[in-house]
A and B are shown apart, each in its own frame.
Chain A
Amino acid sequence: MLNLKELARKLDEALAKETPETLTKWLMGKRNKSIESFVGKGVHRLFIKSEIEELQEVIIMHKDNNDYCQSPDNTIGDSYFAQAA
């Protein structure tokens, strides 16, 4: 017989450990895998690559315009690349 209290405890423990970064990485990983299985690995990599290149262009453009405000720990760029990798 299932022990619902134990299931709840394990789930609460997992949720307590999560941060927005870990959950986003997990969810995006699932969705990327799902797109990959639909369009094929190669096409999906190209898609991700073009997204990264587009983001890099935006960052460079902002830097060139001197209005690029980088966060102290570079979290925006890093988390994006971590998800896309």
Chain B
Amino acid sequence: MVREMYHTQECRKKRLKEPIICERDDAWLGEAYYFWDDYDDADKWGNNSKRKTGKYEIYKANIDCENVLDTVFNEEHYRFWLSRIELVAKKIAKDTLHKPTIKELNDYFKERGDWQEVTGILFQDLPNVEHYTLIEKIYKDKNIYFAYKKRIQLALFDKSKKVLTTFAHFVTKDCEKKEGYAKSKRTGKKA
């Protein structure tokens, strides 16, 4: 299956010809090329986290997900991933007395488990913040929203032509001014 996904970066002098690897220590699934499933998420990420140059760029890609571990839509893959995470996490916690991070678990799969054939992992989180929902709070007096919308990302480990079949500039946008951005985050509407 080929998925159309989005890669966000700050605007640079030269357009990218390929995605940039994320080496941030807090990258959820470790060192990988990250893509958003939903354009709105790619856009929010640009506005929120790619503000260095005042502009951000969104690239559109077609990705062959044949060998992607799909923990979002494929039940078998999800249950397998969950069981492996818990198996390795228990072993690491028992033997080292330290709870591993999700990045460390993923590194373990790749490095020690030799999962070289896995070209990426499709995963999600469920934001329950105001600017991510069109539905009213669950309790009027508490700031709790129902997290109905998956925020889906792909951590891609292999960017060869066989997997990343196309990659092209889609749009360049100005970062919203902080005040306007804060307002749009609150209301869900553009300032």
CB of B104 closer than 8 Å to a CB of A: yes
- Contact (Cβ within 8 A) A30 B114: no
Q: How large is the interface on B (under 10, 10 to 19, 20 to 34, 35 or more residues)?
A: 20 to 34
A22 CA to B112 CA, complexed, in Å: 11
Give the residue of B80, B91, B109, B113 whose beta carbon is less than 8 angstroms from that of A23: B91
For the complex, give the distance between the alpha carbons of A45 and B82 in Å: 37
Q: What 0/1 readout, one digit per residue, does chain A (14-30) give for beta carbons within 8 Å of chain B?
A: 11001110011011101
Q: Are B67 and A10 in contact (CB under 8 A)?
A: no
| Contact across chains for A2 and B95 when beta carbons are under 8 A apart | no
Please indicate the chain B residues that have their CB under 8 angstroms from the CB of A15 in the complex.
87-88, 91
Contact A30 to B107, CB < 8 A, known contacts A7-B115, A24-B96, A38-B25: yes
Count the A-B residue pairs with Cβ separation under 8 angstroms: how many?
61
Complex Cα spacing A11 to B110, Å: 9
Given known contacts A27-B100, A34-B25, A7 and B95 CB-to-CB distance under 8 angstroms: no
Chain A contributes a number of interface residues (CB within 8 A of B) equal to 22
CB distance A37 to B25 under 8 Å? yes
Interface residues of A (CB under 8 A from B): 1-4, 7-8, 10-11, 14-15, 18-20, 23-24, 26-28, 30, 34, 37-38
Contacts A/B (CB < 8 Å), 22 sampled = A1-B66, A1-B67, A2-B77, A2-B117, A2-B118, A4-B76, A4-B80, A8-B80, A10-B114, A11-B84, A11-B87, A11-B115, A14-B112, A14-B114, A20-B95, A20-B96, A23-B91, A23-B96, A24-B95, A27-B92, A27-B96, A27-B98
